[in-house]
Amino acid sequence: MAYLNAPVPVITCLVRGNFLRNQEDSFEKKYPALIFGVSSIPGYAPLFHFENEDGGLWWRMPIHAFCWKEEAEEQELDELVLWDSYSYHVSVTQFPWLKNKKMSFTSRRKNKYCGRYLFTLDWAEADEQYTNSSISEDPGHHKCGHVIELDNGNYAIQPNNRVIVHEPAFSVKQGEQILDRKFNTHIWTAEGSEKWMTEDTDSSHSYEFKPNKPKGIGPKSK
């Protein structure tokens, strides 16, 4: 898992001029750009690295700085991105099943958007030397971020519980909610139980598992 910076599938797009001018001017201008990386800093929205066609490099720009249609209007960052980065440790994955799939989501302002899946950001605490100070691995709070190319010409980053995937071969109940899903709060582990233990043997392949009864548990002997 990458720390701080990670490569992303290349996005050919436009960057808004005002983001290259410290929000002082050039609000109506857009320049060709090529996004090639992401930076993950807790407390900041995911930030992207890109190159301009004159060879200039730029680091750490928010997703609302970019668009892929010349006529796309700039939108508020919190309309397009629901959560900040959870950790300095970030992974970037383009899931083959989701590649180029149509996705839709509803923003915090209840606006509906449609677009095309690009890739997914996900977070964890990868270094066990340090205290886990984030909730990136907490089952009830973990969020990933799907990066979506919107039909309106902008880009968005949305978590699982906000998106609907449009897959005509499998998702045949579009528009229906099959059940009211709840957040998972369980930690699933095959080794976190006292019920079983291995036998005391030096055999590497033929050892058995046997029920374990820790001392002080179970009925007392007569």
Total domain count, the chain: 1
User: In DSSP terms, which residues pair with 116 in a beta bridge?
Assistant: 102, 149
96 SS3 class: coil
Residue 210 belongs to a domain? no
For 48-101, how does the pLDDT look when each residue is reduced to its tens digit (9 = 90+)?
999 999 999 999 999 999 999 999 999 999 999 999 999 999 999 999 999 999
Tell me if 15 is assigned to some domain: yes
Q: Does some domain include residue 41?
A: yes
Average pLDDT over residues 29-45: 97
- What would the pLDDT profile of 134-161 be if each residue is shown by its tens digit? 554 555 557 899 999 999 999 999 999 8
pLDDT on residue 222: 46
Asked whether residue 30 carries a pLDDT value surpassing 60, the answer given is: yes
Average pLDDT over residues 162-186: 77
Domain that holds residue 103: 2-166
Q: What do you get for the CA distance between the two ends of the chain, in Å? A: 55
Residue 48 lies in a domain: yes
Q: Which two tokens stand for residue 222?
A: 């007569």
Residue 43 — pLDDT band, cuts 50, 70, 90?
very high
Please report the pLDDT score of residue 95 as a whole number.
97
* 190 inside domain: no
| Mean pLDDT of the residues in the chain | 86
| C-alpha span between 221 and 117 (Å, rounded) | 62
With b meaning 16 or more CB within 10 Å and e meaning fewer, what string describes 4-39? eebebeebebbbbebbbeeeeeeeeebbebebebbb
Given this model, what pLDDT does residue 188 score? Answer: 72
Does residue 82 sit within a domain? yes
Largest CA distance in the chain: 87
DSSP 30-60: EEEEEEEEEE--TTS--EEEEEETTS-EEEE
d(CA 163, CA 69): 22
Structure tokens that stand for 79 in this block: 């309309």
pLDDT of residue 42: 93
For residue 4, the model assigns a pLDDT of: 95
Question: Would you say residue 65 lies in a domain?
Answer: yes
Give the per-residue pLDDT at 205: 65
- CA 104 – CA 167 distance, rounded (Å): 12
The percentage of the chain sitting over the pLDDT mark of 70, rounded to a whole number, equals: 77
- Whether the pLDDT of residue 215 is over 70: the answer is no
pLDDT of residue 221 exceeding 50, the answer is no
Residue 146: closest CA among 154, 155, 138: 155
In a domain? residue 216: no
Q: What percent of the chain has pLDDT over 90?
A: 63
The pLDDT tens digits of the residues spanning 128-139 come to 555 555 554 555
| Predicted TM-score (pTM) above 0.95 | no
